[in-house]
Structure 1
Amino acid sequence: MPQANGHANGHANGHVNGHVDGNAAPLPADLIDPRQVKLHDALHRLRKLEAAKDIDIPQLIVVGNQNSGKSSVLEALVGFEFPVDNGACTRFPTHYSLRRGEASTTAFIKPGPGRNEVEKACLEELSRSIRNPTSFHDLMRAVNAGLGKKVGMERTGDTGKGFCDDVLMIERRGPDLPQLSLVDLPGLFTASSGHQTDEDQETVQEMAETYVRNKGSMVMVIASAQEDIHCSSGIGLIQKLVRKDASLNERTIYVITKPDMAQSFASLKSVVDQFRFPRPAHFLRNQDSGRDRPRSLASRDAEEEKFFGSGEWVGVPQAQKGIAALRTALKEMLWGHTKNQLRRLIPAVQDMTEEAQRGYKRLEEAGRPDRRKFLVDVAQDFDRLIGNAVIGNYVNREFFSSFDDTSLEVRYKRLRSTARALNKRFATAVQEHGKTVVIGRPRPSGRPHGSAPPPAFLAAEIDRLYSYPEPESKCWADYETWVAGMVDDWRTGEPRGQASSMAYWALFEYQSRGWKRMAENHLKAVWMVIDRFIDLALAEVCPDDGVAEALRRRVMDTHVDKLRLAASTTLESLLSCHGRGNSGFYDSLDDPHTSRSRAQALISKIAELPSLDGGGSPRNAPAL
């Protein structure tokens, strides 16, 4: 039986200028009744409000196994090709907000709840690079590559990428697009492989459960008739969760894909009937990458109609087969679910409106001079706290606490001591792992004398940012042989027997190639501490959480971003000087054992020399 994975080989890039391609079907407009357009626009504006971030707006969640044909269903549903490469799987949720209007597309990354401040900054940088994409496929490739490079989705020694709960937010407008908000989740799977671990399986499962549990969401479960439907993880997920929330049945719709790939019509019908879905399942015929491509989506609908209009499928009710029937069912489901959710949304919005009005009234009653004085006091207190933290003057007991207080927050507040601890950790990392090749003995076990352990509250982050593989170890003879060979390869115009300065430079560059990554990671750790300190200091000097949040977002973040950029630029300048032909080697990077051995040898030689007064060797040669 031929394979149909629902994705296209050579899938033509879906242009993201907002226009539906000429091959798109005009039917997606049927997804929402005209009466709903204003309501959905209002809900969309509500979603963008910072004050309404905790309100769950109705949206369609798409779940199913990998290669179940999810993307093929979605592109048939909304009328444009989805950005999926053949053989690849979605590794993060993608939220599509489709609206009618002038053609445009914007995209950004919404960080997952587990991201720290450093990773959020990296994701913001990635978001700026993809803000106005020119192609859906280029966008997905850029996000996959960016997440792996910037926030560590890629595994060491593995060509695959891990899964994450960061959300790719895509807002697309076009004159013919349906009004719809949907979330395409990574495909579920049960068996681990080289690129998908048991931990990945748990991550994807928990992610799907979180989205499905949200009572503000509708769920579309995709299952492939090409596989045993009893093994559908999506159906199993709903069956598990519905035991605790019976209302899930009312907001779930089931779609069976690839019916032409089933063993037989009778066997497929028998299996589907056994499940007794709360609402009738829908059957869709997917485009096959090898057989149907590069046909248009309109042709796809015609081929599907022809398939369901022949053979035993004639007896299946029209409301259960084909993309047109699915659109109709979804429209009714969306409208009914939205009306039900309004009963919950309206009181919540009214409460927020009343709270905002009370806050505005308090500000008006305070008067302009009092507000200015309040902000001046906040600024002065903040300046005083940050000045003391930078120089290490911890006399403010209320903020920096007592000597024996080692709580997490207090350690963040003592900015200078924490930064110095990070500096020691960085120095240790460079000392132990800063050379590509070390000569002679292996590094002794245990923490080097005088090095500082990572701060306890940063242990996990330090382990990630300051942990590196052990350098390669060569004996003196092997190292000399290797360097001698490389010197010959790097000869220029120097006399015979004299090493080229380029050889010195190349060896230095080779030995220090890990410095850039180490320095960048150190800078990330320092900025993480600074970001946390700013939050704590603002909370200390500003009793109004709303004002503190506004100050952070509108004032502090702008200046911090400039400082962050300046620090990165300075680091780049510092690192670039090592690539300008400087062939010097720094004694400060000698490990303590080597330095001590050299000093002891020198002292031994001095001890063997006759004393200046003619009395023989010095009586007390110093020892190390």
Structure 2
Amino acid sequence: MAPTCETALADPLMLDKIDKLFACGVGELVDLPQIVVVGDQSSGKSSVLEGLIRKPLPRDSGLCTRFATQIVFRRAKVEGIEVSIIPDKDADAQHAVRVRKWGKKVKDLDSQAFVEIMAEVHIEMGLKGHGEDDGVKRPTFSNDVLRLEISGPDQEHLSVIDVPGIFKSTTEGVTTKADIALVRNMVKGYMDNPRSIILTVIPANVDIATQEILELAMEADTVGDRTMGVLTKPDLVDKGAENRVVDLIEGRVRVMKLGWHMIRNPGQKEMSDDTLDRNSLEKAFFRNNVPWNALEKDKVGVDTLRVRLKEVISSLVKREFPKVKSEVRIRLDARQKRLADLGPERSTAMDQMAYLTRMASQFQRLVTLALNANYGADDVFKNNVHLRIAPAVMTRMKTFSDNMAQGGHEYEFLHDSSGGASPPTGNPFASMNTFPTRLEFNVEGIEEVLYPDTEIKMPKPLGMETWLKGVFQGNRGFELGTFNTTILSTAMKQQSEKWTAITRGFLSDIIVMVHRFITAALGVVCRDQDIRVALENTLSEDLMKRYLAAIENAKFLLKVESCDTPTTLNHYFNDNLQKSRQGKIMAGMKRKASQITSFGQPSGFGSNMDEAVVQMKDLESHVKNMSNDEHVINDIHDILKSYYKVSRKTFVDNICKQAASHYLLHCETSPLALFSPVWVSELSATELEEIAGEAPGLKRMRIQLAKEVDSLREAMKILARS
């Protein structure tokens, strides 16, 4: 009988697309609307299926219950049956390829043909054959899915999934406790799909309170809006127990939103007699037998079950189809991103070198943009402060310069409370008695090249003359009216003792900034954490050498400025020296200065220095009052003050330009230049494998993701077809 509009189960176009989504394997990735028939073993599931699809299913003990079977009925002009296997999503690649290649096309599915096909399916799935015992250990059940696609002009467009019946007892030599758990998890997996309509098949002659399958359905469908109870074998209900079953059907106990339904199972004799019509026998049974003839007509019989399912699945498909399309797109995007994050396949040394070379080129691009402060060229600079290295380094250089100018000397020079320099602006430590040498926290992995933080005291405001006198007296020779140049070296070394700690702190902070940049940039160009860690470990030794090179340069500059004989050709030294000496003379003269009165006689000092005069006798006494040692100490002070100012500025410039900028940022051997295409090209095959080689788990993930992407792309094509 051809189907009518009344009994068609849903929009054929939508159902056809759902079936094709199942066939391409996307049902493992996206929950698809489906009818799942579940029940205990011998619950009568097969009879329910036969009634729904209007075709008897050949029975052979042990063959049809080892795996899920998807039966797809499709309306077509030509009759035919296609049999195929959908591999489990977790199956290994070899097994998946083998079972996908297998398939059969037959014109009809009689009992003998069905048995032969099932035997082949068991072999392809690698299952233990019925009654087989060849000593080879094989599983009894499989998560692969057998797909039967039955086409013809009189077929209804319908898809149902029959899963193995759950069981509690093992059969020696056939099933094990592990099989019990496997089947239970398989059944539960299909039921947990929120888009499944669960047909819970239960014999009417048992106590439903003892039925595990009903409890599993309630766990999977807590709301109860997609579960329908189907009672079978009403002819086996004990006398006196009928009212309990009627209460279920009428919804007085164990209430479910989709309700209960009852069908009659054909007996063995009826199934073997082709002249008997199942529908006629079932209708006669519910018409003539008490109390079943009193039940509502739309709650008994397989024809009305089909109508009820039509309403439920039509509503479900129409409601969920747009969501399915959306989920397919979302999952495809997610899988493609995960696959892209893995990067290209890296099975050979050439693949690995090409992969790391691309990564190194991207890294060097970030270095160039960062050092040029071209932060608008890439969005990665917006939210990652560690990548904005240029302004951070410049700010730290300014603080270093200010700290050296304001607090780098041990004693304040005479006549200048700031050591010969104007008080720096913007230094947060300018008004404090001490200041720290470090402003950045250490980072893990490079602590051995970093110096600890030290509190530096500001220069002593008093004591310069006493200190210089001690230096002079402790180092003088037999010079007359002058001093040994070693005295100036000694004084310079002691006056600049703080330079070492301040410089160490500054350079440690720059190293921290550089290392944080490298870590952040690697995080941008390399999303794979395992590869990033391996890369950092391989780079670490050479990075440490380059950090130490900058530190050695700073040590060299410190030695040159504070330990060698003071030498300079800078004309500012002479300018500063002359100004210092003139300043002292002017200060002394001010104390003796007076003004000429209108009568030509000197008077007290007024406000107009241009008109001030000094008497010769006062000038002579000013010079005579200083001893020879005082003259020498004054000269040492003035020379030291003038040289210190020039030396400090030169030293600060050299540390910033050489140790920080050149060694740590810009030169070809800087830490930032290490990870480059040239460095990658010099790696050995072993090193390439250690850094970029794919672990077995990663290879499996890549294969699985590629397979899922293919399935989802095919699904998108299916959904896009009109």
When normalised by structure 1's length, the TM-score is 0.51
Q: Percent same amino acid at aligned positions? A: 23
- Report the CA distance between 1:384 and its aligned residue: 10
Change beyond 3 A, Cα 1:171–1:395: farther
> 1:17-416 maps to which residues of 2 (within 5 A)?
26=2, 30-32=6-8, 36-48=11-23, 54-85=29-60, 90-101=65-76, 102-124=78-100, 127-128=102-103, 130=104, 132=106, 135=109, 137=111, 138-144=113-119, 146-148=121-123, 151-153=126-128, 162-194=140-172, 195-242=174-221, 245-246=222-223, 249-264=224-239, 265-270=242-247, 273-291=252-270, 293-295=272-274, 299-310=277-288, 311-349=290-328, 381=350, 395-397=684-686, 399-401=688-690, 410=695
Q: Quick check: 1:98–1:172 contact (8 Å CA) kept in 2?
A: yes
Q: Quick check: 1:26–1:79 contact (8 Å CA) kept in 2?
A: no
> 1:225-624 maps to which residues of 2 (within 5 A)?
225-242=204-221, 245-246=222-223, 249-264=224-239, 265-270=242-247, 273-291=252-270, 293-295=272-274, 299-310=277-288, 311-349=290-328, 381=350, 395-397=684-686, 399-401=688-690, 410=695
Task: Give CA deviations for 1:314-368 in whole Å, capped at 9, x if unaligned.
Answer: 211111111121011101101111122134224335657999999xxx9xxxxxx
- Paired with 1:79 and 1:328, the residues of 2 have a C-alpha distance of 13
- Paired with 1:158 and 1:379, the residues of 2 have a C-alpha distance of 37
Q: Quick check: 2:33–2:195 contact (8 Å CA) kept in 1?
A: yes
Secondary structure of the 2:219 match is helix
- Paired with 2:324 and 2:283, the residues of 1 have a C-alpha distance of 39
What is the one-letter code of the residue matched to 1:290?
A: K
RMSD: 4.4
Give every structure 1 segment of 4 or more consecutive aligned residues whose post-TM-superposition deviation is greater than 6 Å: 50-53, 158-161, 352-358, 374-380, 545-550
- Report the CA distance between 1:284 and its aligned residue: 0.4
Secondary structure of the 1:309 match is helix
Q: Quick check: 1:122–1:151 contact (8 Å CA) kept in 2?
A: no
- Unmatched 5+ stretches in structure 2: 355-682, 714-722
Change beyond 3 A, Cα 1:136–1:220: farther
Task: Give CA deviations for 1:444-503 in whole Å, capped at 9, x if unaligned.
Answer: xxxxxxxxxxxxx9xxxxxxxxxxxxxxxxxxxxxxxxxxxxxxxxxxxxxxxxxxxxxx
Q: Quick check: 2:81–2:109 contact (8 Å CA) kept in 1?
A: no
Q: Quick check: 2:286–2:293 contact (8 Å CA) kept in 1?
A: yes
- Paired with 1:49 and 1:123, the residues of 2 have a C-alpha distance of 13
- Report the CA distance between 1:81 and its aligned residue: 1.4
- Paired with 1:92 and 1:352, the residues of 2 have a C-alpha distance of 27
- Paired with 1:185 and 1:197, the residues of 2 have a C-alpha distance of 18
- Report the CA distance between 1:69 and its aligned residue: 1.1
Q: Quick check: 1:64–1:222 contact (8 Å CA) kept in 2?
A: yes
Q: Quick check: 2:66–2:142 contact (8 Å CA) kept in 1?
A: yes
Q: Quick check: 1:224–1:258 contact (8 Å CA) kept in 2?
A: yes
- Paired with 1:71 and 1:326, the residues of 2 have a C-alpha distance of 15
What is the one-letter code of the residue matched to 2:689?
A: F
- Paired with 1:225 and 1:376, the residues of 2 have a C-alpha distance of 58
Q: Quick check: 1:93–1:166 contact (8 Å CA) kept in 2?
A: yes
Q: Quick check: 1:119–1:151 contact (8 Å CA) kept in 2?
A: no
- Paired with 2:335 and 2:127, the residues of 1 have a C-alpha distance of 40
Secondary structure of the 2:291 match is helix
- Report the CA distance between 1:380 and its aligned residue: 10
Change beyond 3 A, Cα 1:303–1:377: closer
Q: Quick check: 1:51–1:352 contact (8 Å CA) kept in 2?
A: no
Change beyond 3 A, Cα 1:239–1:378: closer
- Paired with 1:136 and 1:192, the residues of 2 have a C-alpha distance of 31
What is the one-letter code of the residue matched to 1:188?
A: I
Change beyond 3 A, Cα 1:240–1:157: farther
- Paired with 2:706 and 2:117, the residues of 1 have a C-alpha distance of 36
- Report the CA distance between 1:213 and its aligned residue: 0.5
- Report the CA distance between 1:214 and its aligned residue: 0.5
Query: What count of residue pairs does the alignment treat as equivalent?
Result: 368
When normalised by structure 2's length, the TM-score is 0.44
Task: Give CA deviations for 1:18-44 in whole Å, capped at 9, x if unaligned.
Answer: xxxxxxx5458744367x122222333
Change beyond 3 A, Cα 1:221–1:141: farther
Q: Quick check: 1:256–1:284 contact (8 Å CA) kept in 2?
A: yes
- Paired with 2:220 and 2:27, the residues of 1 have a C-alpha distance of 27
Secondary structure of the 1:44 match is helix
Q: Quick check: 2:9–2:307 contact (8 Å CA) kept in 1?
A: no
Secondary structure of the 2:253 match is helix
- Report the CA distance between 1:274 and its aligned residue: 3.5
What is the one-letter code of the residue matched to 1:400?
A: E
What is the one-letter code of the residue matched to 1:223?
A: I
- Unmatched 5+ stretches in structure 1: 1-24, 363-373, 386-393, 413-456, 458-531, 540-544, 554-624
- Paired with 1:229 and 1:377, the residues of 2 have a C-alpha distance of 57
- Report the CA distance between 1:167 and its aligned residue: 0.5
- Report the CA distance between 1:268 and its aligned residue: 3.0
Change beyond 3 A, Cα 1:59–1:31: farther
Greater mean alpha carbon deviation, residues 337-346 or residues 154-163: 154-163
- Report the CA distance between 1:185 and its aligned residue: 0.3
- Paired with 1:548 and 1:225, the residues of 2 have a C-alpha distance of 43
Change beyond 3 A, Cα 1:348–1:307: same
Change beyond 3 A, Cα 1:54–1:301: same
- Report the CA distance between 1:189 and its aligned residue: 1.3
What is the one-letter code of the residue matched to 1:107?
A: V
- Paired with 1:322 and 1:548, the residues of 2 have a C-alpha distance of 41
What is the one-letter code of the residue matched to 1:275?
A: R
